[in-house]
Each structure stands twice: as C-alpha cells, then as structure tokens.
Structure 1
Amino acid sequence: MTKIFGASSTTHDVLDGLDLRGRRFLVTGASAGLGVETARVLVAHGADVVGAARDLAKAERATGAARDAATASGGSLELVQLDLASLNSVRACADALLADGRTFDVIIANAGVMAPPFGRTEDGFETQFGTNHLGHFVLVNRIASLLRPEGRVVSLSSAGHRFSDVDLEDPNFEHTPYAEFVAYGRSKTANALFAVEFDRRHRDRGIRAAAVHPGGINTELGRHMSAEDMAALVQSLEVAHAAAGLPPYRFKSIPEGAATSVWAAVVAPAEEVGGRYCEDCHVAETVEGEGLRGGVRPYALDPERAKALWAKSEEMVGERF
C-alpha cells in the first residue's frame, strides 16, 4: 500500500524501511539546518553523500551525527568546498567532481540565503539571485553528465516565490529599488523555473527535476531578519491561514522541513514530480492570489518563462549548457 505523507511527516517517516546502499547523493548547504538533516537521514539509510559547504570547518562540526549514522549504516559522508556566491568556487567544485568521475543518483540543491541587505556576489550579481539561483545553475549544469540514468535533481524553492516573479530585465536591481523579500521571491521563483527547464532538457534520458518548498522552519536561513521582521512575517502567515480556513500557522521542525526534499528525491514517482513544485510531501496545486499560503503561482511553472530564464542565466554567467 502506498504511504501517504503530509506536512507533519519527518525524514524518517518518509524513508522508513528504505535501503539506500549503493546510491550516491550531492547535497549543497551541508553545514546547517536542512542540509545537515538531509545528509544525516540519507547516510542513516546507507547512502553515500557528498555534502557541499562554503565553510568546511563549520560543516565538519555540524555533521558529527551524520558521520555516526554513516558508520552505523555502512553509508558514507564526504565534504567538498563550495561557495555559491563565487563562480570561481562553483566551477572549481564542479571540476573536482568531474575529475573524480563518480556518478550521482540525486543532486539536492539545498543551500541558500534569505533577505540579506543589498549586496553583490563576487561576480557582481545581486546576492540572493546570484547565490540561490546562478550558483546552482552553473554547478548542476556542469556536473549534469554525472547524473545516472533515472537520476533526479531537487531544487529548493519556497512559498516565498509568491513575493515576486523573476525580473529578466533587471535581475540585479540596477534600475529598481531593492527590497529584501522581493529579491528572495525572484530567486525562489528562479529555483522553481530552473527545475522546469532542466526537467524538459533531461527527461528523455530518464532524469527528472522537481522544485520543493520545505515549509517554514526556524533555521539559520532567517539570520538576516530581526525579531520584529520575523514576528510580522508570522503574523501575515497566520492571517493567510485564517482566511483560508486552515489551522493556526506553526513552524516545522527541521526533520519535517527536510522531508519533502527526500520524498521528492527518493520516494515520489518520477513522472509525478518531474517538472513540478512540491510541498508537504505532495505535488502542489497551482494557485492564484496573494499571500504566503499553500500552492504554487502559475508563473513559477511557466515553461516559456523557464526557457527565457535559462537563456538569461547563460548570458549572465557567460556559459552555455
């Protein structure tokens, strides 16, 4: 019987009874929060995981439990250096993985930043678009040849995509006023559109890509938000839940937050999630309207918009895939 999962399902619920020995995963952002939990639960079920992180010393400290789980299960965890805000670092990481030559079953593009003050990456891109989207765009495309047939890419988006569509005319806020959550929304819409176009390009090889909203989780991702900002965001979410007739809003635990990533990576049928946006361990409905509630905006799944973003991203990074 097919198991039914939902918003309160944890990573262990989703992977209960599964043996992942012999399967290899790449997880970005393996130094905190969802990335650490994702790596831990995968190795606990016997998988071999490569965790990518900007700060390797921090990642070493954060993944002690994952290493213990790997020892117990026969899985493995290794760490590689990756700074998504530097295309030199992204390309060096990709080159090292290509030189190593070992293949992957799944790439989970988990790392990201949320709502920092205006800034630019090493390459001059607006921080959130450059880190959350362009860094992953270059990394995943450069190592796409390492994905095994029937492999998957999981791109972490967010309900924050509802703040804004991508702006292909001004992705770096050179002509429009910067707003932290508008920029975050653009980058999270880009993460969803990337999955749409990557899936279209690779599905003939059996490789599928899905976007995932993990839910609201109180992790280091919110480090740029003040207590007042967080309280205002939670209030807006509570209002949206009440208007939709939903129970009061609550933050997910980290194991609940990482559950949809591993569900889309391992458990869900490929044809069900390929090119789609997932939340709470199911494929989300397309929903119009304001507010940060469930569902995905149509523009985040628009195939023509996805193609246009791909072309703009290639132009920005100076590389064609």
Structure 2
Amino acid sequence: MSQIFGQYSTTDEVLDGLDLSGKRILVTGVSAGLGVETARTLVAHGADIVGTARDLDKAHRATAQIAPGPQGGSLELIELDLASLASVRACTDALHADGRLFDIVICNAGVMACPFGKTIDGFEIQFGTNHLGHFLFVNRIAGLIRDGGRLVNLSSAGHRFADVDLDDPNFDHSPYEEFLAYGRSKTANALFAVEFDRRHRNRGVRATAVHPGGIHTELTRHMREEHMAALLNNLNEANAAAGRPAFEFKSIPQGAATSVWAAVVADADTVGGRYCEDCHVAELADDNDDSFAIRGGVRSYALDPIKAEALWITSEELVGERF
C-alpha cells in the first residue's frame, strides 16, 4: 500500500480511486452513525450493500440519501435484531434462500453502556447483542462468504475495561457495571475475529477487529452527561500526564474509515487475526497500565488464541449451535 492513512483519514480518502463494482458487502447496523456512513461510501464506490437493521423504517429514513456513484452500487435493507436469536436465524435463513455470496461482512451494529437488562433469550444485553448475536449471525452465513473474503468486527478501545468472563457472562453472580459489561463485549468481538480467522484462513477468508475511535453517535445515548464529562476529564488527565494532546472526537466519516480500510484496502495477511485502529494495525498495550485511552493499542488478552477458542466453545453452548 503506497498511501498511508491515519487518525484523521475519512472514508472517502481511504477509498479514493477504488472501484468496488461487483463487490457484495453485508453491513450490520445500517440505521444510524457509522453503519450509514459505511454503507454510503461503499455504495458510492460501486459496491452492492446488504444492510441490516432492527428498525427498517428508521433505516430507510437514515439511508434515503445514499446514491450510487459512477461505477454503480446499490443498497438493500433487511431486518435483523441481534438481541433475538430467532431474528438472527430468520435473517440468515433468508440469506441462504437467496443464495448470493458476500465478499465482505462488516459487523458494525452494537449497544454501549446500557442499564442492566437481558435479551429475549436471557443474555446480558451488551454481551448478547454485541457478541452472541453477531457470533450466531456470522457463523450461520460463513458459507456465504466467498473464498478470499473478509470479516470485520467493530470492537473498541473499550475492550480495555475488561477481559471476557466465561464463568459469569450474564452477570448472574456478580454486580453489574455498565462499562465493565461493555468492555467484556468488545473484548469478545476481538476474540471472535481471532478464532474466526484461524478457522477460515485456509480458504483465504480473513477476520480482523477494529476500533473506530471516539465518535458522537447514537451509541452513547445511554450515557449520562455527567458520566461522559467524567470520562473525558479522566482521559484528558491521562493524556496530559503522558504528554499527549487533549482528546478530540472524530467525525463520523473519520470513525468509519478504519472499518472500510480493513475491509477493502488493507492487505489481508497484515490484518488477519489482528486489532486495528486509525487505519493501521495496533500495537500491544501495557496490560498493567490501568489508564484508559480512546486510542493506544490493544490488550494482549483481546488477541489471546487460547481464550478466543474458549470463548467460541462457550458461545456455541449459549446459542445452542455448533460450527
């Protein structure tokens, strides 16, 4: 790759000059924020996008202005509620009935820092939606991912808050904390990519996890203003102590840039089984550093192949299917 991208790169800059006509790409969560931007820029460069959304009416409104570019491109929306295994199965059954293959799957949908709750199937809502819903969805359509294809899971620097807890994934025996639960789910997203990559790389399908950056989207709708202010204050104190500049939110096009970079620009062997941020593969962070940073590397536990396999086995038991 001759072009170097970074923290401030946008989706249009990352895809500049690329013709994606003939590529069929599935993106989850195409009803707001990063999902809409991801679909917009891919369609503009000629790709045919299948976007999923829990609320199709909302998704149609949010994507009304998406238009094909000179190379063509299209957008189709389908219903998927990741907090319902029945919905996941119905959606994947429909995709198999259609039979067309995908070149890329981008798992973008998610929830963040929710009050305690459980999915229809009894899973803690962040782990159930962010990880288990996508785990079942992707594995049920794995055969529809073309040889040489790619899976991109949206993780987060929030994985720094917590490793997965395979003994108590639903907080049945421990006090619930919003960001602890979010951290577990984002670590799970990264570990899922590690194990999916291991299982499918023999046919050229590679998987990677990405951190989009700190962005103001609907994802933060559950956060109280004082909680957000305290988080930013702690972050800036840590940045100042480390000699880093004050934190700045990314724009939505900047936030979606790493997703599309990892999906269609980056070398497959470079990103396969890895965690990316700011349009590059992240370095390992110090696991003993308790400070939180929106950017700044990946914890080793989020790339641990042994833990990734254990999470896979636990996830199969929880969703009631083996892959």
Tell me what 1:247 maps to.
245
Q: Give the secondary-structure state (helix, strand or coil) at the position aligned to 1:149.
A: strand
| Post-superposition CA distance 1:84-139 (Å, at most 9, x none) | 00000001011101110000010000000001100000000000000000000000
Tell me what 2:186 maps to.
188
In structure 2, which of residues 63, 66, 78 is the aligned counterpart of residue 80 of structure 1? 78
Tell me what 2:13 maps to.
13
Q: Give me the whole-angstrom Cα distance separating, in 1, the residues matched to 2:12 and 2:204.
A: 27
Aligned-pair CA distance for 1:238 = 1.2
Aligned-pair CA distance for 1:243 = 2.5
Identical amino acids, percent of aligned pairs: 73
In structure 2, which of residues 315, 318, 321 is the aligned counterpart of residue 319 of structure 1? 321
Q: Give me the whole-angstrom Cα distance separating, in 2, the residues matched to 1:108 and 1:40.
A: 14
| Post-superposition CA distance 1:130-170 (Å, at most 9, x none) | 00000000000000001111100000000000000000000
| Post-superposition CA distance 1:65-101 (Å, at most 9, x none) | 21xx226541000000000000000010111011100
Q: Give the secondary-structure state (helix, strand or coil) at the position aligned to 1:64.
A: coil
Tell me what 1:153 maps to.
151
Q: Give me the whole-angstrom Cα distance separating, in 1, the residues matched to 2:54 and 2:128.
A: 15
| Post-superposition CA distance 1:260-318 (Å, at most 9, x none) | 00000000000000000000000000111122221000000000000000000000011
Tell me what 1:299 maps to.
301
Q: Give the secondary-structure state (helix, strand or coil) at the position aligned to 2:78.
A: strand
Letter in 1 for 2:180: V
Q: Give me the whole-angstrom Cα distance separating, in 2, the residues matched to 1:27 and 1:231.
A: 31
Tell me what 1:50 maps to.
50
Tell me what 1:101 maps to.
99
Aligned-pair CA distance for 1:24 = 0.6
Aligned-pair CA distance for 1:240 = 2.3
Q: Give me the whole-angstrom Cα distance separating, in 2, the residues matched to 1:195 and 1:58.
A: 29
Tell me what 1:41 maps to.
41
In structure 2, which of residues 152, 166, 176 is the aligned counterpart of residue 168 of structure 1? 166
Q: Give me the whole-angstrom Cα distance separating, in 1, the residues matched to 2:80 and 2:42.
A: 20
Relative to 1, partners in 2 of residues 1:5 and 1:298: Cα closer, same or farther, differing over 3 Å? same
Contact 1:211/1:278 (<8 A) preserved? yes
Q: Give the secondary-structure state (helix, strand or coil) at the position aligned to 2:209.
A: strand
Alignment of 1:22-37 (within 5 A): 22-37=22-37
Q: Give me the whole-angstrom Cα distance separating, in 1, the residues matched to 2:237 and 2:209.
A: 26
Tell me what 1:204 maps to.
202
Q: Give me the whole-angstrom Cα distance separating, in 2, the residues matched to 1:82 and 1:177.
A: 30
Contact 2:103/2:150 (<8 A) preserved? yes
Aligned-pair CA distance for 1:247 = 1.4
Letter in 2 for 1:191: N
Tell me what 1:136 maps to.
134
Q: Give me the whole-angstrom Cα distance separating, in 2, the residues matched to 1:273 and 1:71.
A: 28
Letter in 2 for 1:3: Q
TM-score, normalised by the number of residues in structure 2: 0.97
Q: Give me the whole-angstrom Cα distance separating, in 2, the residues matched to 1:185 and 1:58.
A: 28
Q: Give me the whole-angstrom Cα distance separating, in 2, the residues matched to 1:83 and 1:72.
A: 33
Gaps of 5+ in 1: none
Letter in 2 for 1:251: F
Tell me what 1:266 maps to.
264
Count residues in correspondence: 319
Contact 1:43/1:73 (<8 A) preserved? no
After TM superposition, the runs of 4+ consecutive aligned structure 1 residues lying more than 4 A away are: none
Letter in 1 for 2:246: P
Letter in 1 for 2:82: L
Q: Give me the whole-angstrom Cα distance separating, in 2, the residues matched to 1:243 and 1:107.
A: 39
Aligned-pair CA distance for 1:239 = 1.8
Letter in 1 for 2:52: A
Q: C-alpha root-mean-square deviation of aligned residues, in Å? A: 0.9
Contact 2:162/2:183 (<8 A) preserved? yes
Gaps of 5+ in 2: none
